[in-house]
Homo-oligomer: A and B are copies of this chain.
Amino acid sequence: MSLTPLAFEAAAWCAERLDEVELALSQWVGVGAPESLAAPMRYAVLGGGKRIRALLAMAAQEAVQAPREAGLRAACAVELIHAYSLVHDDMPCMDNDVLRRGKPTVHVQFGEANALLAGDALQAQAFELLTPQDNSLPPVQQAQLCGLLARAAGAGGMAGGQAIDLASVGLALDEPQLRHMHRLKTGALLQASVLMGAACAPSLKAQTVAALTAFADALGLAFQVVDDVLDVTADAATLGKTAGKDAANDKPTYVSLLGLAKAQALAHSLLEQAMAALAESDLPDTRALAALAERVVQRTS
Protein backbone atom coordinates (compact mmCIF):
# COMPACT_ATOMS: atom_id res chain seq x y z
CA MET A 1 0.00 0.00 0.00
CA SER A 2 1.51 3.34 -0.97
CA LEU A 3 0.80 6.35 1.15
CA THR A 4 -1.11 9.15 -0.51
CA PRO A 5 0.81 12.37 0.07
CA LEU A 6 -1.11 15.06 1.90
CA ALA A 7 -2.22 17.94 -0.28
CA PHE A 8 0.32 20.73 -0.20
CA GLU A 9 -1.09 24.15 0.60
CA ALA A 10 1.60 26.58 -0.44
CA ALA A 11 0.01 29.64 1.13
CA ALA A 12 -0.51 27.90 4.46
CA TRP A 13 3.03 26.47 4.41
CA CYS A 14 4.50 29.94 3.77
CA ALA A 15 2.36 31.57 6.44
CA GLU A 16 3.37 29.02 9.07
CA ARG A 17 7.06 29.18 8.25
CA LEU A 18 6.95 32.97 8.09
CA ASP A 19 5.53 33.04 11.61
CA GLU A 20 8.36 30.83 12.83
CA VAL A 21 11.00 32.96 11.14
CA GLU A 22 9.56 36.24 12.43
CA LEU A 23 9.35 34.85 15.95
CA ALA A 24 12.93 33.57 15.84
CA LEU A 25 14.24 36.84 14.41
CA SER A 26 12.40 38.88 17.02
CA GLN A 27 13.95 36.69 19.74
CA TRP A 28 17.45 36.78 18.31
CA VAL A 29 18.19 40.06 16.54
CA GLY A 30 20.23 42.54 18.52
CA VAL A 31 20.16 40.51 21.73
CA GLY A 32 23.17 41.48 23.84
CA ALA A 33 23.68 44.70 21.87
CA PRO A 34 23.76 48.11 23.51
CA GLU A 35 20.38 49.80 23.01
CA SER A 36 21.74 52.36 20.54
CA LEU A 37 22.81 49.47 18.31
CA ALA A 38 19.97 47.03 19.01
CA ALA A 39 17.37 49.57 17.89
CA PRO A 40 18.68 50.05 14.30
CA MET A 41 19.47 46.33 14.03
CA ARG A 42 15.92 45.38 14.93
CA TYR A 43 14.43 48.15 12.79
CA ALA A 44 16.43 46.87 9.81
CA VAL A 45 15.35 43.27 10.20
CA LEU A 46 11.93 43.09 11.84
CA GLY A 47 8.48 43.96 10.61
CA GLY A 48 8.89 43.70 6.88
CA GLY A 49 10.32 41.87 3.93
CA LYS A 50 9.13 38.88 1.97
CA ARG A 51 11.65 36.58 3.67
CA ILE A 52 12.12 34.69 0.43
CA ARG A 53 15.65 33.66 1.48
CA ALA A 54 14.50 32.38 4.86
CA LEU A 55 11.65 30.44 3.26
CA LEU A 56 14.02 28.88 0.72
CA ALA A 57 16.32 27.77 3.53
CA MET A 58 13.44 26.23 5.45
CA ALA A 59 11.97 24.57 2.37
CA ALA A 60 15.39 23.03 1.61
CA GLN A 61 15.82 21.92 5.23
CA GLU A 62 12.44 20.22 5.04
CA ALA A 63 13.20 18.67 1.67
CA VAL A 64 16.31 16.97 3.09
CA GLN A 65 14.47 16.14 6.33
CA ALA A 66 17.01 17.90 8.55
CA PRO A 67 16.29 19.21 12.07
CA ARG A 68 14.05 22.27 12.14
CA GLU A 69 16.24 24.30 14.54
CA ALA A 70 19.17 24.07 12.14
CA GLY A 71 16.96 25.24 9.29
CA LEU A 72 15.68 28.12 11.35
CA ARG A 73 19.21 29.23 12.18
CA ALA A 74 20.21 29.06 8.52
CA ALA A 75 17.04 30.93 7.54
CA CYS A 76 17.61 33.74 10.03
CA ALA A 77 21.32 34.00 9.19
CA VAL A 78 20.64 34.61 5.49
CA GLU A 79 17.98 37.17 6.39
CA LEU A 80 20.48 39.05 8.58
CA ILE A 81 22.97 39.16 5.71
CA HIS A 82 20.25 40.34 3.34
CA ALA A 83 19.09 42.97 5.83
CA TYR A 84 22.60 44.31 6.43
CA SER A 85 23.17 44.59 2.68
CA LEU A 86 20.02 46.68 2.31
CA VAL A 87 21.04 48.98 5.17
CA HIS A 88 24.44 49.65 3.60
CA ASP A 89 23.03 49.83 0.04
CA ASP A 90 20.56 52.50 1.04
CA MET A 91 23.23 54.77 2.53
CA PRO A 92 23.96 58.12 0.88
CA CYS A 93 27.33 56.97 -0.51
CA MET A 94 25.63 54.02 -2.24
CA ASP A 95 22.04 54.27 -3.56
CA ASN A 96 21.02 57.15 -1.26
CA ASP A 97 17.55 55.72 -0.79
CA VAL A 98 15.23 57.19 1.83
CA LEU A 99 12.38 54.69 1.59
CA ARG A 100 12.44 50.92 2.16
CA ARG A 101 9.41 48.69 2.71
CA GLY A 102 7.40 51.89 2.95
CA LYS A 103 9.41 53.17 5.93
CA PRO A 104 12.32 55.59 6.27
CA THR A 105 15.60 53.77 5.66
CA VAL A 106 17.84 52.99 8.62
CA HIS A 107 20.24 55.89 8.13
CA VAL A 108 17.32 58.31 7.81
CA GLN A 109 15.82 56.99 11.02
CA PHE A 110 19.00 56.49 13.12
CA GLY A 111 21.75 58.46 11.38
CA GLU A 112 24.49 57.21 9.07
CA ALA A 113 26.96 56.14 11.73
CA ASN A 114 24.42 53.93 13.48
CA ALA A 115 23.28 52.49 10.14
CA LEU A 116 26.85 51.61 9.23
CA LEU A 117 27.45 49.94 12.61
CA ALA A 118 24.10 48.14 12.60
CA GLY A 119 24.89 46.64 9.20
CA ASP A 120 28.30 45.52 10.39
CA ALA A 121 26.84 43.99 13.53
CA LEU A 122 24.11 42.19 11.57
CA GLN A 123 26.72 40.52 9.40
CA ALA A 124 28.58 39.32 12.49
CA GLN A 125 25.34 38.17 14.12
CA ALA A 126 24.56 35.95 11.14
CA PHE A 127 27.68 33.95 12.00
CA GLU A 128 26.76 34.01 15.70
CA LEU A 129 23.42 32.37 14.85
CA LEU A 130 25.27 29.64 12.94
CA THR A 131 27.61 28.89 15.86
CA PRO A 132 25.33 28.36 18.88
CA GLN A 133 27.34 27.72 22.02
CA ASP A 134 24.84 25.22 23.43
CA ASN A 135 25.54 22.18 21.22
CA SER A 136 22.19 22.61 19.44
CA LEU A 137 23.97 22.36 16.08
CA PRO A 138 26.77 19.83 15.46
CA PRO A 139 30.17 21.47 14.72
CA VAL A 140 30.30 19.90 11.26
CA GLN A 141 27.08 21.67 10.30
CA GLN A 142 28.24 24.92 11.93
CA ALA A 143 31.40 24.84 9.83
CA GLN A 144 29.55 24.04 6.61
CA LEU A 145 26.94 26.72 7.17
CA CYS A 146 29.54 29.38 8.02
CA GLY A 147 31.58 28.45 4.95
CA LEU A 148 28.58 28.66 2.62
CA LEU A 149 27.37 31.96 4.08
CA ALA A 150 30.79 33.64 4.13
CA ARG A 151 31.39 32.81 0.46
CA ALA A 152 27.89 33.93 -0.57
CA ALA A 153 28.21 37.22 1.30
CA GLY A 154 31.78 38.08 0.44
CA ALA A 155 33.92 39.32 -2.42
CA GLY A 156 33.16 36.29 -4.59
CA GLY A 157 29.44 36.67 -3.88
CA MET A 158 27.13 39.48 -2.84
CA ALA A 159 29.73 42.15 -2.01
CA GLY A 160 31.58 41.35 -5.24
CA GLY A 161 28.39 41.69 -7.25
CA GLN A 162 27.67 45.03 -5.64
CA ALA A 163 31.16 46.22 -6.52
CA ILE A 164 30.65 45.21 -10.17
CA ASP A 165 27.26 46.93 -10.12
CA LEU A 166 28.85 50.08 -8.74
CA ALA A 167 31.57 50.04 -11.38
CA SER A 168 29.01 49.43 -14.17
CA VAL A 169 26.80 52.51 -13.86
CA GLY A 170 26.64 54.13 -17.28
CA LEU A 171 28.47 51.24 -18.96
CA ALA A 172 26.85 49.12 -21.67
CA LEU A 173 27.05 45.63 -20.11
CA ASP A 174 26.20 42.74 -22.40
CA GLU A 175 23.99 39.89 -21.25
CA PRO A 176 26.82 37.59 -19.99
CA GLN A 177 28.31 40.48 -17.99
CA LEU A 178 24.93 41.40 -16.54
CA ARG A 179 24.26 37.75 -15.69
CA HIS A 180 27.64 37.44 -13.94
CA MET A 181 26.98 40.58 -11.93
CA HIS A 182 23.55 39.38 -10.78
CA ARG A 183 24.78 35.85 -10.11
CA LEU A 184 27.06 37.43 -7.50
CA LYS A 185 24.92 40.31 -6.30
CA THR A 186 21.65 38.52 -5.61
CA GLY A 187 22.12 34.98 -6.90
CA ALA A 188 24.86 33.93 -4.48
CA LEU A 189 22.84 34.58 -1.33
CA LEU A 190 19.65 33.05 -2.78
CA GLN A 191 21.66 29.98 -3.76
CA ALA A 192 23.26 29.87 -0.33
CA SER A 193 19.80 29.98 1.24
CA VAL A 194 18.88 26.73 -0.52
CA LEU A 195 22.27 25.08 0.01
CA MET A 196 22.42 26.08 3.66
CA GLY A 197 18.98 24.63 4.27
CA ALA A 198 20.18 21.44 2.62
CA ALA A 199 23.48 21.49 4.54
CA CYS A 200 21.49 21.09 7.76
CA ALA A 201 21.33 17.38 6.89
CA PRO A 202 24.28 15.26 8.07
CA SER A 203 25.06 14.13 4.54
CA LEU A 204 23.69 14.55 1.03
CA LYS A 205 24.17 12.75 -2.28
CA ALA A 206 26.30 14.64 -4.79
CA GLN A 207 23.35 14.40 -7.19
CA THR A 208 21.11 16.21 -4.71
CA VAL A 209 23.62 18.99 -4.11
CA ALA A 210 24.13 19.44 -7.87
CA ALA A 211 20.39 19.57 -8.52
CA LEU A 212 19.72 22.02 -5.71
CA THR A 213 22.62 24.17 -6.93
CA ALA A 214 21.13 24.27 -10.44
CA PHE A 215 17.68 24.97 -9.00
CA ALA A 216 18.96 27.85 -6.93
CA ASP A 217 21.06 29.21 -9.78
CA ALA A 218 18.08 29.46 -12.12
CA LEU A 219 15.88 30.79 -9.33
CA GLY A 220 18.40 33.45 -8.35
CA LEU A 221 18.62 34.76 -11.88
CA ALA A 222 14.84 34.64 -12.28
CA PHE A 223 14.53 36.68 -9.10
CA GLN A 224 16.70 39.43 -10.55
CA VAL A 225 14.97 39.45 -13.94
CA VAL A 226 11.61 39.81 -12.18
CA ASP A 227 13.10 42.60 -10.05
CA ASP A 228 14.09 44.46 -13.20
CA VAL A 229 10.65 43.90 -14.73
CA LEU A 230 8.91 45.17 -11.59
CA ASP A 231 11.14 48.25 -11.54
CA VAL A 232 9.38 49.41 -14.73
CA THR A 233 5.90 47.86 -14.29
CA ALA A 234 5.13 48.43 -10.60
CA ASP A 235 4.66 51.68 -8.72
CA ALA A 236 6.33 52.79 -5.51
CA ALA A 237 3.26 52.05 -3.37
CA THR A 238 3.27 48.39 -4.46
CA LEU A 239 7.05 48.00 -4.28
CA GLY A 240 7.43 49.81 -0.98
CA LYS A 241 10.51 51.48 -2.44
CA THR A 242 11.32 54.01 -5.11
CA ALA A 243 10.28 52.64 -8.54
CA GLY A 244 11.93 53.42 -11.86
CA LYS A 245 15.20 54.06 -10.05
CA ASP A 246 17.38 51.80 -12.15
CA ALA A 247 16.34 53.49 -15.39
CA ALA A 248 16.78 56.93 -13.80
CA ASN A 249 20.28 55.96 -12.65
CA ASP A 250 21.17 54.61 -16.09
CA LYS A 251 21.87 51.20 -14.56
CA PRO A 252 21.89 48.25 -16.96
CA THR A 253 18.92 45.91 -16.39
CA TYR A 254 17.39 42.92 -18.16
CA VAL A 255 14.62 45.20 -19.37
CA SER A 256 17.00 47.79 -20.78
CA LEU A 257 18.99 45.00 -22.44
CA LEU A 258 16.26 42.68 -23.70
CA GLY A 259 13.10 44.77 -23.65
CA LEU A 260 10.15 44.09 -21.35
CA ALA A 261 8.53 41.17 -23.22
CA LYS A 262 11.75 39.18 -23.62
CA ALA A 263 12.69 39.82 -20.00
CA GLN A 264 9.32 38.44 -18.89
CA ALA A 265 9.79 35.42 -21.16
CA LEU A 266 13.27 34.85 -19.71
CA ALA A 267 11.86 34.82 -16.18
CA HIS A 268 9.41 32.08 -17.13
CA SER A 269 12.05 30.05 -18.95
CA LEU A 270 14.26 30.23 -15.84
CA LEU A 271 11.35 29.03 -13.72
CA GLU A 272 11.05 25.99 -15.98
CA GLN A 273 14.78 25.33 -15.63
CA ALA A 274 14.47 25.55 -11.86
CA MET A 275 11.59 23.07 -11.83
CA ALA A 276 13.48 20.67 -14.10
CA ALA A 277 16.48 20.79 -11.75
CA LEU A 278 14.25 20.06 -8.78
CA ALA A 279 12.96 16.94 -10.53
CA GLU A 280 16.57 15.71 -10.72
CA SER A 281 17.22 16.16 -7.00
CA ASP A 282 16.14 12.67 -5.93
CA LEU A 283 14.37 14.19 -2.93
CA PRO A 284 10.97 12.75 -1.95
CA ASP A 285 9.13 16.03 -1.41
CA THR A 286 10.20 19.29 -3.02
CA ARG A 287 6.78 20.90 -3.16
CA ALA A 288 7.68 23.78 -0.87
CA LEU A 289 10.77 24.60 -2.95
CA ALA A 290 8.66 24.46 -6.13
CA ALA A 291 5.99 26.69 -4.63
CA LEU A 292 8.61 29.27 -3.63
CA ALA A 293 10.09 29.28 -7.14
CA GLU A 294 6.64 30.03 -8.55
CA ARG A 295 6.18 32.79 -5.99
CA VAL A 296 9.46 34.41 -6.98
CA VAL A 297 8.46 34.63 -10.63
CA GLN A 298 4.81 35.53 -10.11
CA ARG A 299 5.28 38.15 -7.38
CA THR A 300 4.07 41.68 -8.01
CA SER A 301 6.33 43.43 -5.50
Interface residues of A (CB under 8 A from B): 30, 32-34, 36-38, 41, 84-85, 88, 91, 93-94, 111-114, 116-117, 119-121, 123-128, 130-131, 133, 139-140, 142-144, 146-147, 149-151, 153-157, 159-160, 162-164, 166-167
Nearest B residue to A91 by beta-carbon distance? B116
Contacting pair A162 B117 (CB below 8 A) = yes
What residues of chain B lie closer than 8 Å to A142, measured between beta carbons?
A: 139, 142-143, 146-147
Give 12 A-B pairs besides A93-B113, A133-B147 with Cβ atoms closer than 8 angstroms. Answer: A37-B160, A88-B116, A88-B117, A91-B116, A114-B166, A120-B120, A120-B153, A121-B159, A124-B151, A125-B150, A127-B154, A139-B139
Could you name 30 residue pairs across A and B whose Cβ atoms are closer than 8 Å? A30-B155, A33-B154, A34-B155, A34-B160, A36-B167, A37-B159, A37-B163, A41-B155, A85-B120, A88-B117, A91-B116, A93-B112, A93-B113, A93-B116, A117-B159, A117-B162, A120-B159, A121-B159, A126-B150, A127-B150, A128-B151, A130-B150, A131-B143, A131-B146, A139-B139, A139-B143, A142-B142, A142-B143, A142-B146, A146-B146
Q: Is the interface of A mostly helix, strand, loop or mixed?
A: helix
Number of identical monomers bound together in the oligomeric complex: 2
Contacting pair B125 A154 (CB below 8 A) = yes
A270 to chain B, nearest CB (A): 24
Known contacts A33-B156, A147-B131, A163-B33; A94 and B116 CB within 8 A of each other: yes
What residues of chain B lie closer than 8 Å to A32, measured between beta carbons?
A: 155-156, 160
Contacting pair A163 B133 (CB below 8 A) = no
Contacting pair B160 A33 (CB below 8 A) = yes
10 shortest interchain CB distances as A-B pairs: A124-B154, A33-B155, A131-B147, A93-B112, A127-B150, A37-B163, A142-B143, A121-B159, A139-B143, A32-B156
